[in-house]
């Protein structure tokens, strides 16, 4: 399971690095306002942030599998990992969507010829925050409310 989490983290990091221009395009589409980086360093920082945000879903999914396996022996830990990884990715997407929705209310007052700086998007706090809330919530629910299976003696 440890290898699966590490490999998934690396693959998700690469996926996040490749998909970060799509995130930027979707942000501009939903805001209906151009977003620009003040330097190449800001753009690379944005790409790295999105990559780390997506890659952090694998350890969160591993924590969910760990919590589930503490209560019930898993028949298919790979399938449980895939489901928990999907839950983690949905949490990150929800956090990013909430940030764009909050920014959309503020952008209406800015004229369209003024660009929004990329570092004002502040995606890490919203994405990591939502991921942390969901992952800790799922782990707590699994550990607290999932009954343990009694093992037979003998």
Task: Judge whether residue 154 has pLDDT over 60.
Answer: no
Q: How far is CA 136 from the centre of its chain?
A: 13
Model pLDDT, residue 34: 83
* Alpha helices for the chain (secondary structure H): 2-31, 40-55, 57-71, 77-107, 123-145
Query: Coil, strand, or helix at residue 70?
Result: helix
Phi and psi of 121, rounded to 5°? -65, -35
Task: Judge whether residue 121 has pLDDT over 70.
Answer: yes
Query: Phi-psi region for residue 147, left (φ > 0), alpha (ψ -120 to 50) or beta?
Result: beta
Cα–Cα distance for residue pair 77/66, rounded to 1 Å: 9
Task: Judge whether residue 64 has pLDDT over 90.
Answer: no
Model pLDDT, residue 122: 76
Q: Is residue 46 a contact partner of residue 117, using CB atoms and an 8 Å limit?
A: no
The whole-chain average pLDDT of the chain stands at 84
Label residue 87 by pLDDT band (50, 70, 90). very high
pTM greater than 0.75: yes
Task: Judge whether residue 118 has pLDDT over 80.
Answer: no
Task: Judge whether residue 13 has pLDDT over 90.
Answer: yes
Helix axes 57-71, 123-145, angle to 10 degrees: 10
């Amino acid at each position: 399971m440890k290898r699966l989490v590490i490999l998934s983290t690396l693959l998700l990091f690469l996926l996040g690095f490749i998909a970060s221009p799509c995130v930027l395009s979707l942000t501009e589409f939903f805001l209906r306002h151009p977003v620009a980086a003040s330097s190449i360093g800001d753009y690379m920082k944005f790409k790295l942030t999105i990559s780390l945000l997506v890659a952090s879903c694998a350890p969160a999914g591993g924590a969910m599998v760990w919590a589930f396996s503490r209560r019930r022996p898993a028949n298919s830990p790979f399938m449980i990992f895939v489901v928990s990884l999907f839950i983690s990715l949905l949490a990150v997407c929800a956090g990013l969507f909430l940030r764009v929705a909050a920014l959309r209310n503020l952008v209406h007052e800015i004229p369209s010829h003024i660009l929004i700086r990329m570092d004002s998007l502040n995606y890490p706090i919203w994405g990591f925050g939502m991921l942390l809330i969901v992952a800790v919530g799922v782990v707590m629910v699994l550990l607290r409310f999932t009954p343990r299976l009694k093992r037979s003696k003998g």
